[in-house]
Chains A and B, each alone.
Chain A
């Protein structure tokens, strides 16, 4: 029992630190990549290649003046960024970062917890994340914040539907399991899910852009028409937490996409490679390689998120709603129907 608690604590701590580091350095990489895409260098003064930039940014956020609006609801105003960041961290516990390692006779999964309804849990947690935005926007006692919060949360709720339905199609083609680690094991044996779910992947990708409030769906960030969205009244580190949570959400959703659709820690000819290297199942080297592969895929997705941000202009709000309800939702239903037919032909489901 003690060993179990110790092992779970270590895994949780490792995932926590990993998410924080990646979120911090995602902001650095965002600025760097945006620089490269615009023929600039990006931050290069703080440390080598500007690597200390996240520290400098964090320090700046810490030392800024903390403003709490006089007529705001102070308690809710303060806890709103906390709610937002907690939900994004909790979503990250599901991700199995590497193949299980074998110590003695027992296998230790590189995952904080393997819930058998992991996919539903993910949807539930993201839907709770809306509260951070809603409460923050309302507690500011500012009509611009309120409108921004309502826009952002309406956007998240709308895109959750198409996301959920594209996930149902994914679950059907992944053999009817809702557990994250089993979805990865299915892809170990066969092809990556994106082969069977290309349309589903596109829908899921667009929806996760909207869910994480990233461009081109970043109406919350928009200064010109919304005066900064739900975090208009926030300053100093509370604003930092909101922005940090956004990067963390981006990291988690990139990891989820890499896992659900691109095989996670699996890669083509992995089994052959491990055999050629003479590694047995459960070896820590396999775990290490698997983790590296998964991490690389995740970083690739993060970069694509950023690439999109620095290419596409922002959607107008009615266009955003049209895309969500009139394009993505019917498309995801169509994808579901196609999936059922395809899986029936493949013989994976019987009536």
Chain B
């Protein structure tokens, strides 16, 4: 088809959708719509993982990001009941700061992308690379140390979350009773 393979077509379509949904995340007025577009973006990225033979990564990406994290985002946004009237007024100072931060981020992005100019789309290197057996082998041999570090980090975050979520134990409980 027009000199492209099916994989290339899929890549193009998925990329287009991913970028489009990502832009919609930014531009949609309604925060709930933003979150839903973000979920769709995640699905497109999961499709990219599938194209690169990383099935496990794709499914975990959907299960963790789309299935768990974004649901919590939705919880918060839905309960806050954000809409246009409640949006705080943006002063010109905050706008200027926002423009400066975005410009800096763009510069960083351009710099990073320039460094990876010679990166090629190498999806056919090893069709078995993304299978869970090989992934496990790599993860628990070459990358064992970073893996364990990450797990400790997650554990610390877990403990921190529980500490934050815990009710503060009040002293002299009886005095508060009437």
Contacts and interface: CB of A to CB of B under 8 A. Distances in A.
Indicate whether A and B are direct neighbours in the complex (CB within 8 Å): yes
Interface of A: 76, 115-117, 120-121, 123-124, 126-128, 130-131, 134-135, 138, 146, 150, 153-154, 157, 160, 178
A131 B55 contact: no
Nearest to B39: A131
Interface in B47-91: 55-56, 59-60, 62-63, 66-68, 71, 74-75, 78-79
14 contacts: A117-B132, A120-B56, A120-B132, A127-B66, A128-B62, A128-B66, A130-B67, A134-B78, A138-B74, A150-B78, A154-B75, A157-B68, A160-B67, A160-B68
Contact of B55 (A117, A135, A153): A117
A134 B73 CA distance: 11
Contacts of B56: 117, 120
A121 B61 CA distance: 11
A150 B75 CA distance: 7
Contacts of B39: 131
A123 B67 CA distance: 9
Contacts of A120: 56, 59-60, 63, 132
B132 A150 contact: no
Contacts of A131: 39, 66, 71
Interface residues of B, number: 19
B14 interface: no
Given A138-B32, A150-B78, A127 B67 contact: yes
Contact of A134 (B59, B74, B132): B74
B24 interface: no
Q: Is the interface of B mostly helix, strand, loop or mixed?
A: helix
B131 interface: yes
B59 A117 contact: yes
A115 B50 CA distance: 12
Nearest to B46: A124
B59 A127 contact: no
Interface in B126-151: 131-132
B36 interface: yes
Nearest to B136: A176
Contacts of A121: 59
Given A123-B63, A124-B59, 19 more contacts: A115-B55, A117-B132, A120-B132, A127-B62, A127-B71, A128-B62, A131-B71, A134-B71, A134-B74, A138-B74, A138-B78, A146-B78, A146-B79, A153-B75, A154-B75, A157-B68, A157-B71, A160-B68, A178-B132
Contacts of B55: 115-117
Contacts of A153: 71, 75
Contacts of A150: 75, 78-79
Nearest to A134: B74
A138 B64 CA distance: 22
A305 B11 CA distance: 44
A72 to B, nearest CB: 12
A124 B78 contact: no
B16 to A, nearest CB: 21
Nearest to A147: B79
Contacts of B68: 127, 157, 160
Nearest to A128: B67
A123 B32 CA distance: 24
Nearest to B75: A150
A115 B62 CA distance: 16
Contacts of A76: 36
A121 B50 CA distance: 13
Contacts of A138: 32, 74, 78
Interface string B27-54: 0000010001001000000000000000
Contacts of B74: 134, 138
Nearest to B72: A157
A115 B63 CA distance: 16
A117 B62 CA distance: 13
A127 B39 CA distance: 12
Interface centre among A124, A150, A178 (most CB of B within 10 A): A124
B152 to A, nearest CB: 18
A104 to B, nearest CB: 27
B33 to A, nearest CB: 9
Nearest to B67: A127
A135 B56 CA distance: 27
